[in-house]
């Protein structure tokens, strides 16, 4: 997939996360999320630092692991909106899929920009669902975004790295016949689409 197409799909996913966060009234920051052990405040702080981290990497900046540690913001909604603006602007300037991006939270060695944008797309699709489930609401992602995310998610190794503390994804769950692209993406990345269990 051409990097500009991937960036456009990622832009839509990021904007959906912003729409969901903008619908939060700011109450219940301690409520649980599909991310085990994380409150809504934890999840939003994580998403915020991730957006800034990918933005720095897209601009060719080097960062160290402490730069990726979430920090609570006085206004978490405004902070998330600003971080999402940052990453969309940084990605829009990318045009070389092989440009190195330094993402120390994910890998020690640089990652080609095309691969990094794909990581980011999947992360934002999954976090859109995480946020919607935690805040209360639905996910409105178009079929093109969901198909791309499912394709990329299918290439994420389901191995012992998923068992490590703090890993971004749990082990894949069994597939379900007839499941939609979002549900299948969630299952491949260890999320139960029925969370919280009814």
Averaged pLDDT for residues 1-25? 97
Q: Residue 119 is encoded by which pair of tokens?
A: 């990581």
DSSP for residue 160: G
**Ordered domains of the chain (ranges, CATH):** 3-188 (1.20.120.450)
- Give the pLDDT mean for 136-148: 96
Start-to-end CA span in the chain (Å): 38
120 neighbors 10 (Cβ within 8 angstroms): yes
pTM: 0.94
Which pLDDT tens digit goes with each residue over 58-95?
999 998 888 899 998 999 999 999 999 999 999 999 99
Write down the pLDDT at residue 105. Answer: 78
> For the chain, how many residues are written?
198
């Amino acid at each position: 997939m051409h990097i500009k197409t991937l960036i456009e799909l990622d832009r839509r996913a990021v904007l959906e996360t912003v729409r969901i966060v903008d619908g939060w009234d700011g109450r219940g920051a301690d409520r649980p999320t599909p991310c085990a052990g994380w409150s809504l405040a934890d999840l939003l702080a994580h998403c915020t630092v991730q957006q800034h981290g990918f933005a720095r990497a897209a601009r060719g900046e080097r960062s160290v692991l402490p730069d990726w540690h979430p920090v609570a913001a006085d206004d978490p909604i405004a902070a998330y909106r600003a971080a999402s603006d940052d990453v969309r602007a940084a990605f829009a300037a990318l045009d070389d899929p092989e440009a190195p991006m330094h993402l120390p939270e994910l890998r020690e060695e640089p990652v080609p920009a095309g691969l990094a944008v794909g990581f980011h797309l999947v992360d934002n699709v999954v976090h859109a669902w995480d946020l919607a489930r935690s805040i209360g609401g639905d996910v409105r992602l178009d079929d093109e975004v969901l198909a791309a995310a499912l394709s990329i998610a299918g290439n994420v190794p389901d191995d012992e790295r998923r068992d490590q503390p703090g890993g971004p994804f749990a082990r894949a769950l069994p597939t379900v016949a007839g499941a939609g692209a979002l549900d299948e993406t969630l299952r491949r990345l260890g999320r139960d689409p029925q969370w919280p269990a009814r």
